[in-house]
Amino acid sequence: MNVLVALLRAVNVGGTGKLRMAELRAIAGGIGFENVATYIQSGNLVFTTDMTREKAQSALEAALTSFLGQPQSVLLRTAGELEALCAAAPFPEAAPNKVLITFLPDAPPADALGAMVAPSGEEAVLLEREIVVHYPEGQGRSKLKLPALAPGTARNLNTVRKLLEMAQELS
């Protein structure tokens, strides 16, 4: 049984992609996922399945696309991947709510930080399939420009740690 964490893109953000978490749990259960749980209202889903990661991602994206009527993107990570990510998280002295991890479908380009404009002192680090950004003044006030973040979905370090905890409980 695989324990997976799904991170939905553009759900309940800015009035688009409205999806109640009860609906998300029902959709996931309808696909056949088990031990389904959500965390906060921004499209975080933890579940177990016998499906491969690729099949689970495809099934969830198709079900969400059908339900919401527009293409949906989902990024999946295992508990082990989240554990390694949390252990390697840069900016250990920063407040965890000011450290955002952007999960990407693929590795970020090696030169991704070359295009970064950080007027408020933001710092970024490239990881395997993530970009971690420290927003010293908070993300809401930031004027950061980093095009490589576009295909991803971000969660703060507190949220990632909670999702890891939830996934470990299912392992």
pLDDT in tens, 46-76: 999 999 999 999 999 999 999 998 898 999 9
| Owner of token pair 């009527």 | 69
Other CB atoms within a 10 A radius of the CB of residue 9 amount to 17
Can you list the domains of the chain with their CATH numbers? 2-79 (3.30.70.1280), 87-156 (no CATH)
Cα–Cα distance for residue pair 94/121, rounded to 1 Å: 13
**Angle value at C-alpha 152, between 149 and 158, nearest 5 degrees:** 95
Q: Which residue has the tokens 């696309």?
A: 65
pLDDT in tens, 152-170: 999 999 999 999 999 999 9
Q: Could you give the CA distance from residue 35 to residue 64 in angstroms, rounded to a whole number?
A: 19
**Which residues, given as ranges, of the chain have pLDDT below 70?**
11-17
